[in-house]
Amino acid sequence: MSPTITTIAEIGKHEGQPVTIRGWLYNLRESGKLLFPIFRDGSGQIQGVVPKNAVSPETFDALKGLTQESSVIVEGKVRADKRAPGGYELDVSNVQVLQKVSESDPYPITPKEHGVDFLMEHRHLWIRSPRQAAILRVRAEIIKAARDFFDDRGFTLTDPPILTPAACEGTTTLFPVDYFDEQAYLTQSGQLYIEATAMALGKVYSFGPTFRAEKSKTRRHLTEFWMVEPEVAYATLDDVMELSEGLITFIVKRCLEKRRADLQTIGRDIAKLEKIDMPFPRINYDEAVKMLQEGFAKGALENKFEWGGDLGSPDETYLSALFERPLMIHRYPAKVKAFYMEPDPQRPDLALCVDVLAPEGYGEIIGGSQRMASHELLLQRIHEHGLPEEAFKWYLDLRKFGSVPHGGFGMGIERAVAWIGGLEHVRETIPFPRTLHRLYP
RNA sequence: UCCUCAGUAGCUCAAUGGCAGAGCAUCCGGCUGUUAACCGGAGGGUUGUAGGUUCGAGUCCUACCUGAGGAGCCA
């Protein structure tokens, strides 16, 4: 009978026992009649130890000539060893090679360094690297945490359509799709639709992909990215801000609890994440402008910020660097924000909106607002923005049949992963990133 | 769309206008505790493409292609 099948992550439970692991050869070091194969199985890595006189000649020879990423089923005995990074080593007794990678066409990603373009071209293989696997586990944890957060608070998941008949917001560029000879577009936000489901179910959220055909070429942009968007009936801007900081705090704490080892693999400065707690600092747009102008006076910013404009990327970086927790900036001028935002009753030139900026220069990870409740004003705004009234007929209906104050926000998953993982670029936060110049693999 | 930078071996990079090289990967050999192991050897090139200047171009000039970083826009 072959030994118990287990995973490398669970191998500590089998100390002193024979086990079978099924995976791939990550690397092989050899020292004369002693082999040190490192195996990986998706859950982790473990080093095997193979003295020539401890195994059959066939097993030794099979391992000795094995190439990187060859698939193997390995039997061996688990042994605790202080020298091992994971705490355990495997005294290999037998190896079954399912496929040996050809020497004439070896695995392209070597243990040495590679350039971004090469790695992106081999993204389907790059994700096998320990760091990339750790990032994807952190991503999965963030998504699960976000869903748990809403599920535990009485929210209902209501997924909006991906194919839409018209622009949600009209400002950004959309990917056109031929829909049986009709012009359709890939969604750029589910928000308008979940405003409808919020009127049906009270507290709702959506989680899904969104598409922006913007020619953005920065470390913060993908053309296809995932958003979590909650929407709550009867919510005010204050409710939206509370929900935002609650969600972010919950996610960070969950990652520290469950994915600490992965964060360490990625090289994250965990002390910075441990400082994340409620409440988040809140400043309004007027205060932000004052701080930016002070920053310019001190020479920390290149351009003098004038009241009335939207915050640029360098502005956001400057402001968020002043705080250790995510920064909430609320009540921007209405004219730089989306048409559907409720005006501030105290100052109708301002919108009841909030942007949440992650610390350490990661910029905006959440954008939210209280939505406009008045049918008359919404119709006026649609006209002012030159949007086709016909396309928004259903959206206007929400203001005809029992309109209530309501609000919500969208959180970009990839930006959240980039911040929590301390990553340079969002392209590493999703299995197969889509950017301006990247559609393969 | 604009600005900046880059493209040389499978990969990462070097080469004053003067014989195109190193490390890794692959192959051969050595080593019983290696940690991106190490040591010795071998094979591996249309220098992104097309023109031009020059006795001579990887190097200088022009155009184009591809990519990266940033701006704008945004999550």
Q: Are residues A212 and A285 in the same domain?
A: yes
Cα Rg of chain A (Å, integer): 26
The mean pLDDT value for A292-306 works out to 85
Assign 3-class secondary structure to chain A.
CCCEECCHHHHHHHCCCEEEEEEEEEEEEEECCEEEEEEECCCCEEEEEEEHHHCCHHHHHHHHCCCCCCEEEEEEEEEECCCCCCCEEEEEEEEEEEECCCCCCCCCCCCCCCCHHHHHHCHHHHCCCHHHHHHHHHHHHHHHHHHHHHHCCCCEECCCCCEECCCCCCCCCCCEEEECCEEEEECCCCHHHHHHHHHHHCEEEEEEEEECCCCCCCCCCCCEEEEEEEEEECCCHHHHHHHHHHHHHHHHHHHHHHCHHHHHHHCCCHHHHHCCCCCCCEEEHHHHHHHHHHHHHCCCCCCCCCCCCCCCHHHHHHHHCCCCCCEEEECCEHHHCCCCECECCCCCCEECEEEEEECCCCEEEEEEEEECCCHHHHHHHHHHCCCCHHHHHHHHHCCCCCCCCEEEEEEEHHHHHHHHHCCCCHHHCCCCCCECCECCC
Separation in Å: B42 C1' and A391 CA = 70
Residue A381 forms part of a structural domain: yes
Residue A79 forms part of a structural domain: yes
A381 touches strand B (CB under 7 A): no
Looking across all nucleic acid strands, the nucleotide with the smallest C1' to CA distance from residue A38 is B35
Q: Are residues A266 and A373 in the same domain?
A: yes
Angstrom distance (rounded) from CA A125 to CA A256: 28
pLDDT score at A1: 58
Structure-token match 């994700």, residue found: A127
Which residue type occupies A119?
A: L
Pick from A66, A99, A132: which residue ends a domain? A99
Separation in Å: B56 C1' and A85 CA = 56
**Lowest-confidence pick of A11-20, A167-176, A368-377:** A167-176
Could you tell me the pLDDT band of residue A420, with boundaries at 50, 70 and 90?
A: very high
pLDDT reading at A297 higher than 90: no
The mean pLDDT value for A106-132 works out to 85
Looking across all nucleic acid strands, the nucleotide with the smallest C1' to CA distance from residue A67 is B26
pLDDT reading at A144 higher than 70: yes
ipTM (interface predicted TM):
0.84
Using the C1' atom of nucleotide B30, identify the protein residue whose alpha carbon is closest.
Answer: A32
Residue A437 forms part of a structural domain: no
A393 touches strand B (CB under 7 A): no
Q: Are residues A24 and A173 in the same domain?
A: no
Q: Sign of dihedral through CA atoms A116, A85, A62, A22?
A: negative
A321 vs A236, residue with greater confidence? A236
pLDDT reading at A169 higher than 90: no
Residue A218 forms part of a structural domain: yes
Q: Please check whether residue A353 is in contact with residue A330, taking contact to mean a CB–CB distance below 8 angstroms.
A: yes
Task: Say which residues have a Cβ less than 8 Å from residue A192's Cβ, sequence separation at least 6.
Answer: A160, A168, A340, A395
Q: Are residues A139 and A285 in the same domain?
A: yes
A30 touches strand B (CB under 7 A): yes
What percentage of chain A exceeds 70 in pLDDT?
98
Looking across all nucleic acid strands, the nucleotide with the smallest C1' to CA distance from residue A225 is B75
Q: Please check whether residue A15 is in contact with residue A78, taking contact to mean a CB–CB distance below 8 angstroms.
A: yes
Pick from A99, A133, A166: which residue ends a domain? A99
Q: Are residues A130 and A36 in the same domain?
A: no
Which structural domain, as residue segments, surrounds residue A15? 4-99
pLDDT digit string (tens) for A178-227? 889 888 889 988 999 999 999 999 999 999 999 988 888 888 899 999 99
A65 touches strand B (CB under 7 A): yes
Angle subtended at Cα A219 by Cα A223 and Cα A132, rounded to the nearest 5 degrees = 90
Q: Are residues A59 and A131 in the same domain?
A: no
Angstrom distance (rounded) from CA A191 to CA A411: 11
pLDDT reading at A366 higher than 50: yes
What percentage of chain A exceeds 90 in pLDDT?
61
pLDDT score at A166: 65
Distant-in-sequence contacts of A166-172, Cβ < 8 A, 24+ apart = A166/A388, A166/A391, A166/A392, A167/A387, A167/A391, A168/A192, A169/A338, A169/A339, A169/A340, A170/A339, A170/A385, A170/A386, A170/A387, A171/A338, A172/A212, A172/A213, A172/A214
pLDDT reading at A391 higher than 80: yes
Could you tell me the pLDDT band of residue A112, with boundaries at 50, 70 and 90?
A: confident
A167 touches strand B (CB under 7 A): no
From A288, A269, A275, select the one nearest A325 (Cα to Cα): A275
Could you tell me the pLDDT band of residue A355, with boundaries at 50, 70 and 90?
A: very high
Q: Are residues A93 and A137 in the same domain?
A: no
CATH number at residue A90: 2.40.50.140
Residues 294-323 (A) near nucleic chain B, CB < 7 A: 310, 312-314, 316
From A187, A193, A210, A203, select the one nearest A159 (Cα to Cα): A193
Angstrom distance (rounded) from CA A77 to CA A85: 17
Q: Are residues A17 and A71 in the same domain?
A: yes
Q: What is the strand order of the sheet A182-186 is part of?
A: A163-164, A182-186, A176-179
Residue A111 forms part of a structural domain: no
The mean pLDDT value for A340-368 works out to 93
Separation in Å: B71 C1' and A283 CA = 26
Q: Find residue A282's DSSP bridge partners.
A: A328
Q: Are residues A15 and A53 in the same domain?
A: yes
Residues 183-222 (A) near nucleic chain B, CB < 7 A: 189, 212, 214-222
Structure-token match 């008949």, residue found: A165
pLDDT score at A332: 95
Separation in Å: B17 C1' and A158 CA = 67
Using the C1' atom of nucleotide B75, identify the protein residue whose alpha carbon is closest.
Answer: A412
A113 touches strand B (CB under 7 A): yes
pLDDT score at A331: 95
Q: Please check whether residue A287 is in contact with residue A295, taking contact to mean a CB–CB distance below 8 angstroms.
A: no
A366 touches strand B (CB under 7 A): yes
Residue A56 forms part of a structural domain: yes
CATH number at residue A309: 3.30.930.10
The mean pLDDT value for A27-48 works out to 90
Could you tell me the pLDDT band of residue A171, with boundaries at 50, 70 and 90?
A: very low
Separation in Å: B60 C1' and A118 CA = 30
A117 touches strand B (CB under 7 A): yes
Residue A78 forms part of a structural domain: yes
Separation in Å: B8 C1' and A121 CA = 20
Could you tell me the pLDDT band of residue A440, with boundaries at 50, 70 and 90?
A: confident
A327 touches strand B (CB under 7 A): no
Separation in Å: B58 C1' and A297 CA = 47
A172 touches strand B (CB under 7 A): yes
A82 touches strand B (CB under 7 A): no
What's the mean pLDDT when you consider all of chain A?
Answer: 91
Separation in Å: B2 C1' and A51 CA = 62
Q: Are residues A235 and A377 in the same domain?
A: yes
Looking across all nucleic acid strands, the nucleotide with the smallest C1' to CA distance from residue A36 is B34
Using the C1' atom of nucleotide B1, identify the protein residue whose alpha carbon is closest.
Answer: A215
Q: Are residues A82 and A206 in the same domain?
A: no
Nucleotides on chain B within 7 angstroms of protein Cβ: 1-2, 10-13, 23-28, 30-38, 66-75
Pick from A64, A82, A99: which residue ends a domain? A99
pLDDT digit string (tens) for A404-413? 999 999 999 9
Q: Are residues A69 and A139 in the same domain?
A: no
The mean pLDDT value for A368-380 works out to 95
Total domains in the fold of chain A? 2
